[in-house]
């Protein structure tokens, strides 16, 4: 049983190329022996994420994330191990024998099944059942087309207290506890369960992989006493801050444009797509989160905010600037407040839903009229405060210094400082002073997206550098030289973790065959040692201009000599410490006297060896 499981995993792994799988998701460029790209697991502007084809592993030299193709899919796509195995097997055309998930994986699959059935149930009521009539009328009045209803799988929840509950427990035989875990039912005061969503228009909320993980329900009557929207509660599957409505349906459109318009609500998004502006997502609220930005960074280079131009929009823009600063994304804003076309059409102050519905052509024009987030905040500050008075000027500086202080690109920052100085009619160097003062106040990274840059050679001790480089040179040596180099390194006793077992395995392998392939060799090691081997083999610190050093002989001789010298110094130091300890004794035994002369002999031998 276990064997067949193992061999299935092996078969799938052999049929898979990690470079293809990651390359479908990230932009990778060839760099020496590796492929290289921006790390998807931490925010960064210069690529420190490496994928190695021979080893079939990835590693980020910035945040340390590393693993094989299964681990990549688990971390990047949030798949379980069973899901990643199934996904890769399907891709390679391999039919897996029954591979029943267990424990948490099985529970997750069950909840996904329930949520998908619920989507189907609500959708059926909206589109087919007479109870769905009010929902159909409502959508018709809002101009929502049949295509949109189908694409976003909109639905309707019956007004009954137990419509969905009965369907799922009586007809589909699921347990109430599973319905509760999926966030679909609520327990009343008398301990009875009832449907969470009743008499509402239903929007399925999907994760980035297209799985339904929750719902948002909207009341139909404008004057209803209940909340306009209610959402699924946080569950093991639904995390509000990760979710982007429309992402899974529209990400191909977004990828094509390399831009994404971020809107507030579901209807804004639906109306926009009906006006043929399809590179959109809705955040269901007004603040973008870090994980939403990570998702957007996978498919776009520009994020365009289409949020209400009031103070909430300004706040959301300021917050988004902070989050985006650590990434490679560009942030722009659709400027509703100052668009001449919008003014001419008499539609100022209307939300994107209404603009797109009533004047699709105007919405298409607006969606291309963006200004940089910095310009937007500057304009807004100048409108809110009085630049003619000293107090107003101070307010403007206070509002903008934190924003402009965050610009990492000096030329760009300089541009906005000039602009601000002109607007305030003060000297640019004075404005610059205020802004740098703010920038210096920042203590350490504010968000986890801003991890430190990859550790450079200075973060390592001389010994670590020499050892890692020697291992790099060993692994890139011509096959006939590997044994000899490995033997020397073993003799020197490296401190690098895992070096001893790996070097021993390497020598053993070369004794039986002169064929050496790093990928095959890696497979014979356990996961921890594999990761260590990959680290030495692919360390970009030791590539010259992104190229693997071709002729390693000269480099090897220099490094080996330095390592020997270090080892010699260490040994000498050790002997001297022992000698000193013995010297301090007032009376010495015969054994101790013998020990001293032995140590002195050792020093002489060492010195002779060193001179050779
Ligand atoms: Zn990273």
Rounded to the nearest angstrom, the distance between the alpha carbon of 551 and the centre of ligand 1 is 31
Residue in 304, 292, 283 with CA at minimum distance from that of residue 373: 304
Distance of CA 262 to the CA centre of its chain: 19
Cβ contacts of 469 within 8 Å, gap of 6 or more: 542, 559
Rounded to the nearest angstrom, the distance between the alpha carbon of 36 and the centre of ligand 1 is 12
Query: How many Cβ atoms sit within 10 Å of the Cβ of residue 159?
Result: 12
Rounded to the nearest angstrom, the distance between the alpha carbon of 79 and the centre of ligand 1 is 19
Rounded to the nearest angstrom, the distance between the alpha carbon of 363 and the centre of ligand 1 is 38
Rounded to the nearest angstrom, the distance between the alpha carbon of 39 and the centre of ligand 1 is 5
SS3 307: coil
Rounded to the nearest angstrom, the distance between the alpha carbon of 236 and the centre of ligand 1 is 25
Rounded to the nearest angstrom, the distance between the alpha carbon of 252 and the centre of ligand 1 is 25
Q: Give the mean pLDDT per block of 10 residues along the chain (612 residues).
A: 66 93 92 86 85 90 88 90 91 82 83 97 97 96 96 96 96 96 93 95 95 96 83 92 94 93 94 97 85 90 83 80 84 88 89 94 94 91 90 90 84 91 89 79 41 49 87 87 89 88 90 81 82 84 67 83 87 86 81 85 81 65
Query: How many Cβ atoms sit within 10 Å of the Cβ of residue 80?
Result: 18
Residue in 164, 231, 214, 218 with CA at minimum distance from that of residue 193: 164
> Who surrounds ion ligand 1 at CB < 5 A?
39, 41-42, 60, 62-63, 65
Q: Which residues on adjacent β-strands are paired with residue 262?
A: 281, 305
DSSP state of 159: S
Distance of CA 433 to the CA centre of its chain: 35
Rounded to the nearest angstrom, the distance between the alpha carbon of 326 and the centre of ligand 1 is 12
Residue in 380, 394, 224, 200 with CA at minimum distance from that of residue 305: 380
SS3 543: coil
Question: Do the beta carbons of residue 39 and residue 22 sit within 8 Å?
Answer: no
Rounded to the nearest angstrom, the distance between the alpha carbon of 564 and the centre of ligand 1 is 34
For 47, counting Cβ atoms within 10 Å of its Cβ (0-12 exposed, 13-18 middle, 19+ buried), the class is: buried
Rounded to the nearest angstrom, the distance between the alpha carbon of 294 and the centre of ligand 1 is 12
Rounded to the nearest angstrom, the distance between the alpha carbon of 43 and the centre of ligand 1 is 7
For 293, the token pair is 């930005």
Rounded to the nearest angstrom, the distance between the alpha carbon of 602 and the centre of ligand 1 is 48
How far apart, in whole angstroms, are the C-alpha atoms of residue 309 and residue 366? 14
How far apart, in whole angstroms, are the C-alpha atoms of residue 534 and residue 61? 11
Angle at 465 (CA atoms; ends 462, 471), nearest 5 degrees: 140
Rounded to the nearest angstrom, the distance between the alpha carbon of 291 and the centre of ligand 1 is 14
How many CA atoms lie within 13 Å of 320's alpha carbon, on the beta-carbon side? 31
Q: Which helix (H) or strand (E) holds 57?
A: strand 57-60
Rounded to the nearest angstrom, the distance between the alpha carbon of 55 and the centre of ligand 1 is 19
How far apart, in whole angstroms, are the C-alpha atoms of residue 185 and residue 183? 6
How far apart, in whole angstroms, are the C-alpha atoms of residue 44 and residue 34? 19
How far apart, in whole angstroms, are the C-alpha atoms of residue 381 and residue 188? 49
Residue in 153, 172, 254 with CA at minimum distance from that of residue 210: 153
At 131 the pLDDT is: 95
Rounded to the nearest angstrom, the distance between the alpha carbon of 439 and the centre of ligand 1 is 25
């Amino acid at each position: 049983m276990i064997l067949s499981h193992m061999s299935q995993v092996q078969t799938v792994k052999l049929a898979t190329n990690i470079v293809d799988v990651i390359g479908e998701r990230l932009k990778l460029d060839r760099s020496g022996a590796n492929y290289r790209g921006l790390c998807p697991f931490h925010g960064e502007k210069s690529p420190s994420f490496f994928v190695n084809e021979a080893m079939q592993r990835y590693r980020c030299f910035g945040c340390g994330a590393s693993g094989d193709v299964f681990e990549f899919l688990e971390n990047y796509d949030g798949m379980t191990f069973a899901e990643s195995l199934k996904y890769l097997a399907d891709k390679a055309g391999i039919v897996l024998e029954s591979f029943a998930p267990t424990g948490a994986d099985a529970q997750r699959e069950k909840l996904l099944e329930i949520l998908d059935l619920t989507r189907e149930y609500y959708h059926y009521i909206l589109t087919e059942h007479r109870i769905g009539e009010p929902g159909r009328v409502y959508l018709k009045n809002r101009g929502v087309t049949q295509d949109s209803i189908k694409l976003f799988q909109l639905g309707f929840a019956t007004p009954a207290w137990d419509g969905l509950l009965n369907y799922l427990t009586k007809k589909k035989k699921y347990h109430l506890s599973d319905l509760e875990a999926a966030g679909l039912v609520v327990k009343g005061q008398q301990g009875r369960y009832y449907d969470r969503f009743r008499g509402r228009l239903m929007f399925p909320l999907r994760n980035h992989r297209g799985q339904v993980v929750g719902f948002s329900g909207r009341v139909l009557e404008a004057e209803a006493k209940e909340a306009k929207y209610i959402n699924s509660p946080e569950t093991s599957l639904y995390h509000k801050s990760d979710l982007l409505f429309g992402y899974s349906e529209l990400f191909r459109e977004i990828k094509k444009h390399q831009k994404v318009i971020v809107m507030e609500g579901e209807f804004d998004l639906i109306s926009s797509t009906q006006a043929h502006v399809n590179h959109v997502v809705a955040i269901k609220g007004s603040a973008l989160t870090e994980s939403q930005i990570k998702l957007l960074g996978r498919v776009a280079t520009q994020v365009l905010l289409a949020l209400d131009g009031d103070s909430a929009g300004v706040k959301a823009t300021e917050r988004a600037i902070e989050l985006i600063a650590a990434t490679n994304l560009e942030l722009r804003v659709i400027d509703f407040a100052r668009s001449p076309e919008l003014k001419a059409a008499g539609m100022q102050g209307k939300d994107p839903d209404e603009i797109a519905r009533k004047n699709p052509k105007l919405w298409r024009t607006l969606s291309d009229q963006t200004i940089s987030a910095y310009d937007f905040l500057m304009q807004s500050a100048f409108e809110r405060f009085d630049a003619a008075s000293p107090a107003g000027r101070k307010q403007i500086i206070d509002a903008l210094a934190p924003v402009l202080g965050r610009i990492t690109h000096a030329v760009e920052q300089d541009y906005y400082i000039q602009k601000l100085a002109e607007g305030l009619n003060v000297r640019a160097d004075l404005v610059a002073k205020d802004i740098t003062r703010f920038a210096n106040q920042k203590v350490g990274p504010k968000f986890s997206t801003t991890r430190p840059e990859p550790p450079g050679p200075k973060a390592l001790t001389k010994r670590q550098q020499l050892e890692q480089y020697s291992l790099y040179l060993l692994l890139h040596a011509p096959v006939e030289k590997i044994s000899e180099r490995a033997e020397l390194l073993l003799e020197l006793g490296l401190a690098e973790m895992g070096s001893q077992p790996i070097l021993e395995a390497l020598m053993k392998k070369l004794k039986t065959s002169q064929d050496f392939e790093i990928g095959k060799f890696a497979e014979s090691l356990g996961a921890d040692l594999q990761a260590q081997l990959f680290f030495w083999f692919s360390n970009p610190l030791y590539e010259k201009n992104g190229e693997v050093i071709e002729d390693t002989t000269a480099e090897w001789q220099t490094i080996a000599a330095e390592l020997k010298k270090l080892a010699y110094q260490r040994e000498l130091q050790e002997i001297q410490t022992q000698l000193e300890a013995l010297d301090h004794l007032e009376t010495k035994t015969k054994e101790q006297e013998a020990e001293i002369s032995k140590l002195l002999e050792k020093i002489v031998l060492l010195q002779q060896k060193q001179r050779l």
